[in-house]
Amino acid sequence: MKPTVHDIASAAGVSLATVDRVLNRRPGVSARTRDKVEAAVATLGFVRDVAAANLAKGRVYPLTFILPANDNSFMRELEAAVHDAVARSPSERTDIRILKVPPFDAAALVAVLDALVDEQPAGVAFVAVDAPEVAAAVDRLVEVGIPVVTLVSDLPASRRVHYAGIDNLAAGRTAASLLGRFVGDRRGSLAVLAGSMLVRDHRERLEGFRSVMAADYPHLSLLEVIEGRDDPTLVERRLTDLFRQRGDILGIYSLGAGNRGLVAALGKARFDRRPAVIAHELTGTTRGALNDGLVDAVLNQDAGHEVRSAIRVLKAKADGLPLLAAQERIRIDIFLKDNLP
* pLDDT tens digits, 33-53: 988 988 888 888 776 655 555
pLDDT averaged over 10-residue windows placed end to end, the chain, 341 residues = 83 87 78 88 74 60 94 90 95 93 95 95 96 97 96 96 97 98 96 91 96 97 93 94 94 91 94 95 95 97 96 90 84 96 91
Tens digits of residue pLDDT in 325-340: 888 999 999 999 999 9
The confidence score (pLDDT) of residue 51 equals 55
When the pLDDT of each residue in the chain is averaged and rounded to a whole number, the result is 91
SS (H, E, C) the chain: CCCCHHHHHHHHCCCHHHHHHHHCCCCCCCHHHHHHHHHHHHHHCCCCCHHHHHHHHCCCEEEEEEEECCCCHHHHHHHHHHHHHHHCHHHHCEEEEEEEECCCCHHHHHHHHHHHHHHCCCEEEECCCCCHHHHHHHHHHHHCCCCEEEECCCCCCCCCCEEECCCHHHHHHHHHHHHHHHHCCCCEEEEEEECCCCCHHHHHHHHHHHHHHHHHCCCEEECCCEECCCCHHHHHHHHHHHHHHCCCEEEEEECCCCHHHHHHHHHHCCCCCCCEEEEECCCHHHHHHHHHCCCCEEEECCHHHHHHHHHHHHHHHHHCCCCCHHHHCCCCEEECHHHCC
Tens digits of residue pLDDT in 14-37: 988 888 788 766 777 888 898 898
Tens digits of residue pLDDT in 141-181: 999 999 999 999 999 999 999 999 999 999 999 999 999 99
Q: Is the pTM of this model over 0.75?
A: yes
The confidence score (pLDDT) of residue 47 equals 66
Please give the domain boundaries of the chain with CATH numbers for all domains: 5-48 (1.10.260.40), 58-165+303-330 (3.40.50.2300), 168-300 (3.40.50.2300)
The confidence score (pLDDT) of residue 53 equals 57
